[in-house]
Amino acid sequence: MCAARGDNIAVLDKNLEAAESTIADALELGSKSALGLLYDVTVEEQIEDSFRTIAAHLGVPYGLFANVGIDVGGLIHELPAATWRRVVETNLTGIFFTCKHGLRQMIQTKMPGSIVCTSSPTGFVALAAGGAGAYSATKGGVSSLIRCLAIDYASYGIRVNAVVPGATETNLMWSNVPTADIPEMRQNISKEIPLGRLAQPEDPARAVAWLLSDESCYVTGSHLICDGGTLAKASISV
């Protein structure tokens, strides 16, 4: 969607093939230049090197979408410390590293811009199915982080917001669900969402593209909830 309005695009992904596929789409849709890089969000040195490469090829980014997350479930009393650290290092520390080096470049070059981070409804409420303590804690952390960043960097002309996608048809949605159970699970979840369906990736993407654009120039420190009405609904059926 950003490519379609003429933005140059850099895609950083742990899966280089996925990044290259996305930049091929971006070039077809309207980007004059696009760059795909292999990137592990938990390794700060890789992030710093990636931002240097982006600046050299595309210029300093004026829009940054920090979208990363893994969901490794489990009850807290049974959760190995290594699993907890892996979720925190990916979902929260990875967002911190990404914002840190994006902000540093923007400030050094006096580039005003917009940063969007992915939070989650689980940052506000617990999942009824349970077992999401680590994931929820990291998303609550992301929500707190964006509010602080919005205040800290407003004087630089840098806006920081969060998008809050609900149940969305992505691989992450079904990462803890056996393949044979997905159709029934999809049907059951759709009944619980006020709009009656899971989101397609394009739905939260529209929200992100708006937050990255000048159309949202007076929006910072906010959460744009894109969950089909899930957070607005009470959990009891009365």
Average pLDDT, stretch 38-49? Answer: 95
Q: How many CB atoms lie within 10 A of CB 212?
A: 23
Query: What is the pLDDT at residue 213?
Result: 97
Q: What are phi and psi of 66, to 5 degrees?
A: -95, 95
Q: Is 20 exposed, middle or buried (0-12, 13-18, 19+ CB in 10 A)?
A: middle
Q: 138 is written with which tokens?
A: 């990291």
Q: 28 is written with which tokens?
A: 């077809």
To the query of whether residue 135 is one of the catalytic residues in this protein, the response is yes
- Cβ neighbours of residue 63 under 8 Å, at least 6 residues apart? 2, 7, 113, 114, 115, 116, 212
DSSP states of 79-110 as a string? --HHHHHHHHIIIIIHHHHHHHHHHHHHHHTT
Q: What are phi and psi of 237, to 5 degrees?
A: -90, 80
Q: What digits encode the pLDDT tens for the residues 71-115?
A: 888 999 999 999 999 999 999 999 999 999 999 999 999 999 999
Apex 237 CA angle, 207 and 235, nearest 5: 45
Q: Taking phi first (over 0 means left), then psi (-120 to 50 degrees means alpha), and beta for anything else, what does residue 43 get?
A: beta
Q: What is the mean pLDDT of the chain?
A: 95
Q: What digits encode the pLDDT tens for the residues 125-182?
A: 998 888 999 999 999 999 999 999 999 999 999 999 999 999 999 888 887 788 999 9
- Picking from 192, 193, 170, the residue whose alpha carbon sits closest to that of residue 182 is 170
Ordered domains of the chain (ranges, CATH):
62-226 (3.40.50.720)
The catalytically annotated residue of 62, 135, 153, 156 is 135
Query: What is the pLDDT at residue 235?
Result: 79
CA 217/CA 88 separation, integer angstroms? 31
